[in-house]
Copies of this chain bind each other. A is one copy, B any other.
Amino acid sequence: MKAEIITIGDEIIHGEILDSNSAYIGDKLSSLGIEIAFRTSVGDDLKRIIEAIKLAVERADLVIATGGLGPTNDDLTKKGIVKAFKRNLVFHEDILKKVEEGFRRRGIEMPKINQNQALLPQGAKALPNQYGSAPGIFIQEGKRFFFALPGVPLEMKTILENEILPFLKTRSSRKVVLQKVLRTTGIVESAIYEKLDSVLKAKSPVKLGFLPSFSGVDIKLRITSESEDLARKDISEIEQKIREILNENIYGMDKESLEEVVGRLLSDKKKTISVAESCTGGLIGAKFTSISGSSNYFMDGVISYSNQSKMEFLKIPREIIEKYGAVSEEVAILMAEGIRKVSNTDYGVSATGIAGPTGGTEEKPVGLVYIGFAHENDSYARKFIFGGDRQTIRERTAQAALNLVRLFIEYGVHRP
């Protein structure tokens, strides 16, 4: 099966947003073994939308378009579909009811214009949208499949996952594409590359890719094979080699985030944690609590941005802050100990640092961060100097704090 992805919207064409929808759909289709022949983007321009749809339907068996399905007049996709497929619009009472219900649930009166969303091209099927008012659209012509989805990523993803991928799974080729991502943190890409030299040089049908980001480097293993067993064997062999070499730098697999991994570890061990944050200002807590069920292990946090609150909430003596400075190993340790004690949790984790862009000195430069960790029998802090802008430094700090917790639980004492 050959696919084309179309994304529609001036904001894409003008480069105001990155086209993450195309990437997401491309990834999902590839992993089903579906070949993506072309990706096309057009602005909010009816003539070009029609041209793009017509061309795509001609040169691909499967077309997925996103964007331009809202109720306003710069949302032209439905008009484009009608013209490209030479069909009329038909009103659907049941769709209108669903849209109205969605507004009622949120306690908002439905603007009249949303009535448009009950119109579908003749013969098209509506794909339910649980997070928004615009349903997806599905048209089948012989062996050709055309889908149009809203451009809002959450809505697009949900309809894709629930409605389209299960449908395509039953229809795509027998070739198996297996993919696995090993997620690392605390090691730079070039160091990984050097360490994996022997693996990279060995002949293997598994293709390796490296995707660095501020939070770590993802290593992607990808294989296309006739047999699923063989593919699994090949992937598993190379995975084992990589794991032997990189060891504790690997924190998780595939889409699993570090906060998910740490949350799982805390749940499994029935341990609780609390955080004391300075430079991250709540980011570590926000990451912990982004996981559903985190209330089982995440108890409290203090955002001690001012020295006052370090003394008030965390019982850190003024003399210590004055002697060593708020950004110091000593204060990081006392913050972790303090929050652990006042929250009565098994672990306490803390971060204090200079996120910049101002506030750095020769001795304590921008990027300097201390992460503290306290448990029943011990407490310690690790020093980091992170590169990047304010946001990157804060994200890296939060990631390193989560990682320090993981290293302790998985590998025992990690006193630096």
Contact = CB atoms under 8 A, between A and B. Distances in A.
A22 B26 contact: no
Contacts of A167: none
A27 B294 CA distance: 39
A209 interface: yes
A275 interface: yes
Given A281-B294, A292-B357, A10 B209 contact: yes
B211 A17 contact: yes
- Interface of A (DSSP majority class): mixed
22 contacts: A13-B39, A14-B27, A14-B30, A19-B22, A38-B40, A70-B189, A73-B193, A74-B209, A102-B387, A111-B188, A111-B190, A277-B285, A282-B288, A285-B285, A286-B394, A292-B358, A295-B305, A299-B305, A300-B305, A300-B312, A301-B303, A306-B343
Interface string A368-407: 0000000000000000011111111010000000000000
A194 B70 contact: no
Contacts of A302: 300-303, 313
A209 B44 contact: yes
A72 B209 CA distance: 9
Contacts of A385: 105-107
A309 B43 CA distance: 51
Q: Which of A102, A111, A131 has the most CB of B within 10 A?
A: A111
Interface in A275-291: 275, 277, 279-290
Given A30-B15, A209-B16, A194 B303 contact: no
